[in-house]
């Protein structure tokens, strides 16, 4: 096999490995859809699912994050001043107010908590960790502080972003 063919094969294998490890499940997708729908109704915000954030200004390895320069929350929430652009933006320099990560079956909580440390270092104001398997949502106003909401609660409350969502409509 030629060197060029080996490079192409290695590239294709890396792409396939990344796509398979990034594969969403039914509950993962369902939960993201529900959260995005609820947040979309709040005219103060712009909801951005799967937006790539430019994190090249910090060393992500210090947080145990595998990514080199980009982070992609399941949902990023911006003020409603962020609008669609005529020329697309591949890596968003402006950080969101809120980054939401929904745990998928192949993902570990430690991996997400490392991303939260990076998000806070980049200026994100609040992070949510959502666990669809157990119907739980954790609101992190700071890296080492969180409040847990489950189906015994009526609303999820994020005082930093001033959001209240009915938990029954998420899970």
pLDDT digits (tens, 9 = 90+) for 65-117: 989 999 999 999 999 998 888 888 999 999 999 999 999 988 889 999 999 99
How much is the pTM?
0.86
Taking only the tens place, the pLDDT of each residue in 18-61 is 434 466 799 999 999 999 999 999 999 999 999 999 999 999 99
The number of CA neighbours under 13 Å toward the Cβ of 149 is: 20
All domains in the chain, ordered by first residue: 24-169 (3.90.1570.10)
Residue 100, exposed/middle/buried by CB under 10 A (0-12, 13-18, 19+)? buried
10: helix, coil or strand? helix
Apex 132 CA angle, 45 and 121, nearest 5: 50
Q: What is the pLDDT of residues 152-163, one digit of tens each?
A: 999 999 999 999
Does residue 7 carry a pLDDT above 70?
A: no
């Amino acid at each position: 096999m030629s060197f060029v063919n080996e490079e192409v094969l290695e590239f294709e294998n890396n792409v396939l490995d990344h796509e398979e490890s990034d594969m969403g499940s039914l509950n993962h997708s369902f939960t993201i859809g529900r959260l995005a729908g609820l947040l979309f109704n709040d005219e103060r915000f712009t909801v951005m699912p799967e937006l790539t954030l430019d994190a090249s200004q910090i060393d992500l390895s210090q947080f145990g994050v595998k990514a080199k320069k980009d982070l992609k929350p399941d949902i990023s929430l911006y003020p409603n001043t962020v609008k669609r652009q005529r020329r697309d933006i591949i890596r968003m320099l402006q950080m969101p107010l809120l980054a939401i990560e929904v745990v998928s079956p192949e993902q570990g909580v430690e991996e997400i908590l490392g991303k939260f440390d990076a998000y806070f270092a980049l200026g994100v104001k609040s992070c949510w960790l959502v666990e669809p398997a157990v119907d739980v949502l954790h609101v992190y106003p700071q890296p080492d502080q969180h409040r847990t909401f489950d189906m015994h609660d009526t609303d999820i409350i994020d005082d930093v972003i001033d959001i209240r969502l009915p938990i029954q409509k998420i899970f």
